[in-house]
Amino acid sequence: SVSDSRSDPSSDKDPSLGTDGGLARGERQQSITVDEPTGGLTAGLDPVVKETDGTWIAWGDGDADFAVTDDRNCVAVPPDEEAYTLRRLELSDEAVDSYYYGFSNRVLWPLCHGFPNLIEDRSNDFEWYRTVNERFADAVIDHADEDSVIWLQDYHLALAPRLIRESIPDSATVAHFWHIPWPTPETFRHCPAGGHVLEGLLGNDLLGFHVEGYADRFLDCVDRFLPAAGVDRARRTVHFDGRTTRVVATPMGVDAEGYDSDARSTDHDRLSSLFEEYGIPPETTLGLGLDRLDYTKGIPERLAALERFFERNPGWRGEFTFVQKATPSRTEIGTYQQYGDLVRSEVKRINRRFETADWRPIVYTEDVLPREDICALYRHADVMVVSPLVDGMNLVAQEYVAASTDGDSALLLSDRTGAHERLGSHALTIDPTDRDGTAAQLEYALSMSAYERQRRLNTLRQRVFSGDIQSWMETQFDWIRRVHDDPRNQGGP
């Protein structure tokens, strides 16, 4: 499996090694510690790579100095079991700046989320993106044989599939999952080197997106910008350069059982001290927002709706507290710094407007919390507001549902998320830009009968549990198997 180390949804760091490095720098094998991944893609992939005796290729910090490496920078994971091989690619600071903070997150991220005005096309960024993709491809080629299945993750590796395809046997399979939206052709035309991106992705035998709309838009873009490619819409295949790529929509779920059981085992003393630490009144009705601090997540819009809610409902002042946990992300990029400043100043302004001597309407923190605290907050929150302006899937909404074990929770969910396609109107649908509408849905959430809360939550839970991370992995691998068994990629529905 091949992943950019930052593609794990639960963190901007690589949790497979722990955020503190996991493998202690420069120490001997016996001092290695392995942190079990806590959720999401990493936790889902870990057992698969173990079972298949596979190799996991990811980049780490440029200055990482691992104790147990061979000349290819491989390490056995976990060290005492030697279950699989983790191969680390070391990138220089310049490479990280241009590849990760450059083309990946100054071009592809805003482009795919429909913000072409935020694209920063700096010189050399695409060249570095290509160079790092080449390094990933070389590492894969080094390990691949005629029976290999190669599974790439996310938008950091758009060029690698073609480079890999050109150098491995025909019978090996290259698959890729794109975790973020795919834009319309009107937006995609702003992509610097867009033709290379499309051609790169068409090196895959299988290309997965979260929802059908993204898969269709990908085909629209190929149709429009790669005239040499043959798009078969009914089968969702593209014939290009003598090969066929199958495009599928497989919505990603969460470790529902894990969130459920962690929420059930909430330590109430721990919850009380969490409340005390952050100044949350113990008896308050609790609202929750939890996001990376990213301009796609609709945090200022959510704050504006909260302001409107408190304006219209003075009776809730002192009674309802909204906890906004925002994890700083990609802070090297100016747009992210400005976004963080805006969020923090809006929180201050709204708090100043409504706060009393012993209550603040918004409790804001940028602390990274351990999973048990996140689960305790999920379980305890009466209402969660998920309001992205656009989001490939959104795992937080599904985690909240899985951790809502008391049957009395309500979810406000933006209709611009992949998650809305699976949870639909059983959540309380919001248009994140409509502050009055969002405030009204919040009022509704807080006044809903216990029966309606329970009824909605039951359906939400059925959906989240039946489409969990395990079933997503199975669907992925069913598709991969089909394509692998049919190298000409002609079969399927």
Query: With b meaning 16 or more CB within 10 Å and e meaning fewer, what string describes 45-78?
Result: bbebbeeeebbbbbbbbeebebbeeeeebbbbbb
Residue in the structure block whose two tokens are 């057992």: 47
Q: Is 40 in the site for ligand GDG (CB under 6 A)?
A: yes
Which region, judged by CB under 6 A, interacts with ligand GDG, from 182-190, 386-394, 434-442, 452-460?
Answer: 386-394
Counting contacts by CB under 6 A, is residue 368 touching ligand GDG? Answer: yes
The single residue among 69, 73, 313, 327 that binds ligand GDG, judged by CB under 6 A, is 327
Give the β-pairing of 84-90 and 74-77.
antiparallel
Binding to ligand GDG by residue 10, rule CB under 6 A? yes
Q: Least distance in Å: CB of 163 to ligand GDG?
A: 24
Other beta carbons within 10 Å of 292: 17
CB 151 within 8 A of CB 177: yes
Site track 163-182 with ligand GDG (rule: CB under 6 A), x = hit: ----------------xx--
- Taking each continuous run of H as one helix and of E as one strand, the counts in the chain are 18, 16
Angle between helices 395-403 and 371-380 (to 10 degrees): 70
Least separation, in Å, of the C-beta of 177 and ligand GDG?
Answer: 8
What Å distances lie between residue 163 and 8, 48, 191, 442, 484, CA to CA? 23, 25, 20, 49, 19
Check binding of 468 to ligand GDG (CB under 6 A): no
Q: Does 110 bind ligand GDG (CB under 6 A)?
A: no
| Nearest distance, CB of residue 370 and ligand GDG, angstroms | 6
Minimum CB separation of residue 429 from ligand GDG in Å reads 18
Number of residues that bind ligand GDG (CB under 6 A): 23
400, exposed or middle or buried, with CB in 10 Å at 0-12, 13-18, 19+?
A: buried
- Measured from the CB atom, is 231 or 375 closer to ligand GDG? 375
Applying CB under 6 A, among 260, 307, 382, 391 the residue interacting with ligand GDG is: 391
Per CB under 6 A, the list member of 2, 4, 6, 9 interacting with ligand GDG is: 9
Binds ligand GDG (CB under 6 A): choice among 111, 191, 252, 293: 252
The residue among 43 and 304 lying less far from ligand GDG, judged by its C-beta, is 43
Q: Smallest distance from the beta carbon of 421 to ligand GDG, in angstroms?
A: 12
Q: What Rg, from alpha-carbon coordinates, does the chain have?
A: 23
Name which of 420 and 484 has its Cβ closer to ligand GDG: 420
Report the C-alpha gap between 214 and 210 in whole angstroms.
7
| Residue positions counted in the chain | 493
Nearer to ligand GDG, 164 or 326 (CB): 326
Question: Counting contacts by CB under 6 A, is residue 4 touching ligand GDG?
Answer: no
- Tell me the DSSP string of 351-363: HHHH-BTTB-SEE
- Closest listed residue to residue 2, CA positions, set 60, 76, 41, 56: 56
Smallest gap from residue 461 Cβ to ligand GDG (A)? 17
User: Could you say which residues in the range 64-103 bind ligand GDG, by CB under 6 A?
Assistant: none
122, 371, 455, 482: which one binds ligand GDG (CB under 6 A): 371
- How far is residue 448 CA from its own chain's centroid? 31
How far apart CA 436 and CA 182 sit, in angstroms, is 29
Q: What share of the chain is helix, strand, coil (3-state, %, to 5)?
A: 45, 15, 35
User: 240 by DSSP, 3-state: which?
Assistant: strand
What's the min distance (Å) between Cβ of 373 and ligand GDG? 8
Binding mask 287-326 for ligand GDG (x = CB under 6 A): ---x-x----------------------------------
Q: How far apart are CB 76 and ligand GDG at their closest, in Å?
A: 26
- Stretch near ligand GDG under the rule CB under 6 A, chosen from 66-74, 305-313, 366-374, 470-478: 366-374
**Is residue 183 within the footprint of ligand GDG (CB under 6 A)?**
no
Q: What is the dihedral of CA 417, 363, 369, 409, to 10 degrees?
A: -50
Give 226 or 362: the residue with its C-beta nearer to ligand GDG.
Answer: 362
Secondary structure E strands in 346-450: 362-365, 383-386, 410-414, 428-430
Angle at 9 between CA 307 and CA 12, to 5 degrees: 85
**Where does this chain touch ligand GDG (CB under 6 A) — which range of 129-137, 213-221, 335-343, 388-396?**
388-396
Q: Which member of 55, 324, 394, 476 binds ligand GDG (CB under 6 A)?
A: 394
Q: Which residues bind ligand GDG (CB under 6 A)?
A: 9-10, 38-40, 179-180, 252, 290, 292, 327, 368-371, 374, 391-396, 399
